[in-house]
Amino acid sequence: MCAEIARKGKSVEVRRCERNDLREIQEILEAAPEAAMWSEAALAETLERDPSHFLVAEQDEEIAGFIVGREIEKEAEILNLAVKPEYRWRRIGQSLVQAMLEVFAGAGVVRVFLEVRESNQGGIAFYSRLGFRKVGRREHYYHEPEEGALVLEAKIGAGNVQAVTNGPVL
């Protein structure tokens, strides 16, 4: 899987993660307190277990961000997403989410879920723009600091994300 997306005159390449990318991904996580913090060992285990659902975005010959997901039958979950601070607001996150949704759609997934920190207003707005809607809440979901999570859902149909028709709009 490799997709190239032009953004503001620069090309963003979304591709599968490789083992030699993990150190850079760990550095991205350390600079993104709103993301779920995973150890380098956890990243390596995730990559080994399911490389088709671990994508990175490259721009300017460096990794700008990553996304990890998983699928179970017709449902899927985005487990983690982070973009380097200096690459934010360049649609890197959007490119990663769209690429992951394409992977899910290709596997026949119809519903995609994710959790986002309740205090992460930027993340909530970002996912809302991509068609995700609030469907629940999990208390004490995050640690360091402890915080609840909103559960968001998007439906996939004919290769496109469609807003969920029930539940409040974020």
Is residue 168, in this structure, part of any structural domain at all? Answer: no
Residues of the chain with pLDDT under 50: 1-9, 159-160, 162-170
What's the pLDDT score for residue 154? Answer: 94
Total of domains in the chain: 1
In a domain, 37, yes or no: yes
- 85: preceding bond cis by omega (within 30 degrees): no
Distance CA 150, CA 144 (A): 17
Instruction: Give the DSSP letter of residue 1.
Output: -
Q: Which domain holds residue 25?
A: 2-162
CATH of the domain at 114: 3.40.630.30
- Could you report the per-residue pLDDT of 130-146, keeping only the tens digit for each? 999 999 999 888 777 78
CA 133 and chain centroid, separation: 15
Q: Is residue 152 part of a domain?
A: yes
- E strands, the chain, are 2-7, 10-16, 54-59, 62-72, 75-83, 111-117, 133-142, 147-157, 160-162
Residue indicated by tokens 């997934």: 109
Report the pLDDT value the prediction gives residue 75, as an integer from 0 to 100: 93
Residue 169: inside a domain: no
